Structure 1
Amino acid sequence: MTIISFFRLSRWSPPRVLMTGFALIILIGGVLLSMPFASRDGTATAFIDALFTATSATCVTGLVTVDTGSHYSIAGQIIILILIQIGGLGFMTMATLFALVLRKRISLKERLILQEAMNQNSMEGIVRLIRKVVLYAFIIELVGAALFAIRWSLDMPLGQAIYFGIFHGVSMFNNAGFDLFGQFGTPYVSFTQYVNDPLVNIVTMLLIILGGIGFIVMSDLLEFRTLRRLSLHSKVVLSATGALIGVGTIVIFIFEFSNKGTLGSLGWGGKILASFYQSVSPRTAGPNTVDLASLRQATQFFIIILMFIGASPGSTGGGIKTTTFTTLIGAVIAMIRGKEDIVLFNYRLARERIFKALTITVLSLALVVFVTMVLSTTEDKAFIKILFETTSAFGTVGLSLGVTPELSMIGKIIICLTMFAGRLGPLTLAYALGPRTEKELYRHPEGKIIIG
């Protein structure tokens, strides 16, 4: 029996297998989290809230309708942790890992699904990449967990510090944003009590960035000493990531410098650290160290833009991805300069890459606009809060202005579907739901329309 013969791989396309696989994992997680043993008080959690949490964990988002630390028991938190790990690495990656451990052969169809799941252009070396993904993930999570545990052992018993370290190490690296600090009296508190703590901030940011740049880039960086070169993909990802974080830090610092509800009450070091952190966190991670509801609207809107762009391909994050954003910026610059080609680091991009970037952006923008319009009619909240919530769900970020716990039943379902679409990607979802199309054997005559 093959890894996922249940899905009848010979008939199902890779996007459809991915969509169904994630949906089944979410459903199983929702059922388990709704059980009495998963809550602290031993009562059953409303299924919609359990399903919402399972969706958020599997889609590595972090939005929650009930506080993770104060509502769920240890068993419930471990279920959430497993869902985060499966969702972050991908269920096909985990299935392949078990197959490799059991020395089973990876079929051609399964390699095609892995190619789709990892957003690769070819199947070449895909199983080798999976081995690297699992190894890198576990090592980084382990180091992050150890550093967290050392720091939190000063605030809590050692056993609890180790548990907190493991949970938050996995959560932060997978860009999930789930935290357990609500169990200490203030629900939905996130990392706000550590706004001035350098170790917690730096470790968290490093985990978020490493999880967000993608495993291909990490592999390139580790092999740089041997190969002495980086691929075009890695150069674009690292440049875009650095630029977005740098610009984000400066913008947030300027907009919030005098805001007493956020940076105004902090010293210079705290202001810089908090600005840097709030610039990294919207890259699909979720935890925050300042009260987001107290941010100025200009800052909130800027964070919406960062959340929409998101992380990088082949990573644990969401959004339209940094490479898509860079391609669009390159297209604009090329058009303004009268150039026919988009050139990045002395390499010309193929037209199909440009069309794909444009398609992903338009589909993503259409999804965010549609969901925002619908939620504006079902939820009695300010427009900026609804747009923020929608973009956070689509980008699998997990940041919220306090709207999530107050969503209506319809609102929760809509946000669940948005998180699901954001994790799979609008294009993959369209391929999964759409009919199979055959390649056309002819081309229509060229026509001309006036643009602009």
Structure 2
Amino acid sequence: MLSNLRNHWSPPRVLAAGFAVIIMIGTLLLSLPAASQSGERLPLLDALFTATSATCVTGLVVVDTGTYFSIFGQIVILFMLQLGGLGFMTVATWFTLMMKRRISFRERLILKETMNQNTIEGIVRLIGKVFLYSITIESVAALYFAFRWMDEMPLAKAIYFGVFHAVSIFNNGGFELFGDFRGLTLYVNDSGMNIAAMVLVLLGGMGFIVISDVMEYPRTRKLSLHSKVVLTAISVLTLLGALLIFVFERTNPLTLGPMHAGHQIMASFFHSISLRSAGINTVDVGAMRSATLFLMVILMFIGSAPGSTGGGIKVTTFTLLTAALWSTLRGKESVVLFRRRIPSDDIYRALTLAFIGMIVLLGSTLILLTLQPQPFLMVLFEATSAFGTVGLSMGLTRELVPAGEAIIILLMFTGRVGLITLAFALSPGKGKQLYRHPTGDIVIG
């Protein structure tokens, strides 16, 4: 599988290199004349942008997927969405298990990094469940979508659309084939489509670890601390996001204003859930009010759960920082969640991740502002969407200059691979510290 790599290649480097290889292969395939409906070659930078967006399951696009790419090009994107969502190591491990081959210790370490696990114990068993759950969920969703679209298009096209959108939405990819960059705006009042899409996004965004935990709950009658934190955080953020979107947009004549109350609530929940990392929309994002857009920036920065198909700093990071803040304000020395004390190392890691994420995002936004003569909020929104691998857009992506495209490509790659993983992949290695400095006091506040 990857055992031929040299021993000095750490798991984070293998993970980052694997995504880079998939992106390079996808770039070459999408730049072929056969990948476009017109038979013309897609410029290499645009092909790289599309391949990165698909592999990093983001959904930002510079050309319309449904009208520009041929069936060949769309299938290439489909495979990249699947590989990017599940992770190339997950797919490779499944094939290895099917061939009755043994998974080496080194490969288990890489899988641990892929799934954001703290231990390799049970990692191969988890990978098997991940693949089974993913295929089952995508198959059921594809069947529903196909039946839903049978009355609107030929059967073969309905099946193809069903498979493509089931894979794209579950993997939080954000790619769609309806043309004219419309997303799911045609189905804003379709309750069945909205509910199906929201369920897929939630399942993809909560992470395979949590899905496995929930599936085994009837037998074990317990959930891990990680699953409790993820489920609680996603529930609170979704409810709060939906409430605020409804309040901000219910009188906006360009978004929720023309709808009746039931559809307004449904659309509010849809976009709150989509902000986890899905990148699909049922109303025009660019027409939303500034308060709504800024709220969406915050939720996109938080992102989804570890071990999921989404990006951002992760809901667990946000929860740990919130809990640490609350403990500090109350004068408590320990951070406690669900009657469990959180190790200080986890708090430092969460703080590091959030701080690096802010530096990367704000630095990228500053560079983009010098390259693109656009409003600040629009540039910040696009950069956050790329970093959180969300894929929602106010329209800036299609107007990016080449240097701007490069910045967004790097943000998408960083968001999918992960800040900590990428930092370890690029670092020269760490040696053991043989001494400790004396302590010192600094006045804070």
TM surpasses 0.5 = yes
Residue 283 of structure 2: SS of its match in structure 1? coil
Residue 443 of structure 1: SS of its match in structure 2? coil
Task: Determine the C-alpha separation between the residues in 1 that align with 2:431 and 2:22.
Answer: 31
Task: Determine the C-alpha separation between the residues in 2 that align with 1:446 and 1:149.
Answer: 65
Task: Determine the C-alpha separation between the residues in 2 that align with 1:64 and 1:222.
Answer: 35
Q: Map residues 67-78 of structure 1 onto 2, 5 A cutoff.
A: 67-78=64-75
Q: Which runs of 5+ in 2 are unaligned?
A: none
1:4 aligned partner, one-letter code:
L
1:166 is aligned to 2:163: yes
Q: Map residues 423-438 of structure 1 onto 2, 5 A cutoff.
A: 423-438=416-431
Task: Determine the C-alpha separation between the residues in 2 that align with 1:110 and 1:221.
Answer: 26
2:348 aligned partner, one-letter code:
F
Which of 272, 291, 305 aligns to 1:312? It is 305
1:138 is aligned to 2:135: yes
Task: Determine the C-alpha separation between the residues in 2 that align with 1:144 and 1:446.
Answer: 58
Offset of residue 97 of structure 1: 1.2
1:175 corresponds in structure 2 to: 172
1:379 is aligned to 2:351: no
TM-score by length of 1: 0.98
Task: Determine the C-alpha separation between the residues in 2 that align with 1:83 and 1:54.
Answer: 7
Q: CA RMSD in A?
A: 0.8
TM-score by length of 2: 0.99
1:31 aligned partner, one-letter code:
L
Residue 43 of structure 1: SS of its match in structure 2? coil
Q: Is the 8 A contact 2:3 2:107 kept in 1?
A: no
1:337 aligned partner, one-letter code:
R
1:278 is aligned to 2:271: yes
Task: Determine the C-alpha separation between the residues in 1 that align with 2:382 and 2:207.
Answer: 25
1:388 aligned partner, one-letter code:
F
Offset of residue 443 of structure 1: 2.2
1:13 corresponds in structure 2 to: 10
Q: Map residues 44-443 of structure 1 onto 2, 5 A cutoff.
A: 44-182=41-179, 187-443=180-436
Q: Deviations over 1:207-253 (max 9, x none)?
A: 00000001111111111111111110000000000000000010000
Which of 7, 20, 30 aligns to 1:33? It is 30
Residue 243 of structure 2: SS of its match in structure 1? helix
Q: Deviations over 1:344-395 (max 9, x none)?
A: 0000000110011001000111000010000000112111010000000000
Task: Determine the C-alpha separation between the residues in 2 that align with 1:283 and 1:350.
Answer: 26
Task: Determine the C-alpha separation between the residues in 1 that align with 2:331 and 2:292.
Answer: 34
Instruction: Give percent identity, aligned residues only.
Output: 56
2:275 aligned partner, one-letter code:
P
Task: Determine the C-alpha separation between the residues in 1 that align with 2:392 and 2:142.
Answer: 22
Q: Deviations over 1:270-325 (max 9, x none)?
A: 10111010101111100100001110000000000110001001111111111000
2:247 aligned partner, one-letter code:
I
Offset of residue 103 of structure 1: 1.5
Task: Determine the C-alpha separation between the residues in 1 that align with 2:388 and 2:250.
Answer: 27
1:79 aligned partner, one-letter code:
V
Q: Which runs of 5+ in 1 are unaligned?
A: none
Task: Determine the C-alpha separation between the residues in 2 that align with 1:325 and 1:232.
Answer: 15
Task: Determine the C-alpha separation between the residues in 2 that align with 1:444 and 1:357.
Answer: 24
Task: Determine the C-alpha separation between the residues in 1 that align with 2:235 and 2:146.
Answer: 28
Task: Determine the C-alpha separation between the residues in 2 that align with 1:317 and 1:421.
Answer: 12
Task: Determine the C-alpha separation between the residues in 2 that align with 1:155 and 1:356.
Answer: 50
Task: Determine the C-alpha separation between the residues in 1 that align with 2:395 and 2:32.
Answer: 26
2:115 aligned partner, one-letter code:
M
Q: Deviations over 1:58-105 (max 9, x none)?
A: 000000000100000001000000000000011111111111112211
Offset of residue 7 of structure 1: 2.8
Task: Determine the C-alpha separation between the residues in 1 that align with 2:336 and 2:51.
Answer: 42
Offset of residue 6 of structure 1: 4.3
Task: Determine the C-alpha separation between the residues in 2 that align with 1:439 and 1:420.
Answer: 30
Task: Determine the C-alpha separation between the residues in 2 that align with 1:110 and 1:314.
Answer: 17
1:7 aligned partner, one-letter code:
L
Residue 181 of structure 1: SS of its match in structure 2? coil
Residue 7 of structure 1: SS of its match in structure 2? coil
Task: Determine the C-alpha separation between the residues in 2 that align with 1:315 and 1:161.
Answer: 28
Residue 343 of structure 1: SS of its match in structure 2? strand
Task: Determine the C-alpha separation between the residues in 1 that align with 2:429 and 2:198.
Answer: 42
Task: Determine the C-alpha separation between the residues in 2 that align with 1:322 and 1:413.
Answer: 27
1:449 is aligned to 2:442: yes
Residue 314 of structure 1: SS of its match in structure 2? coil
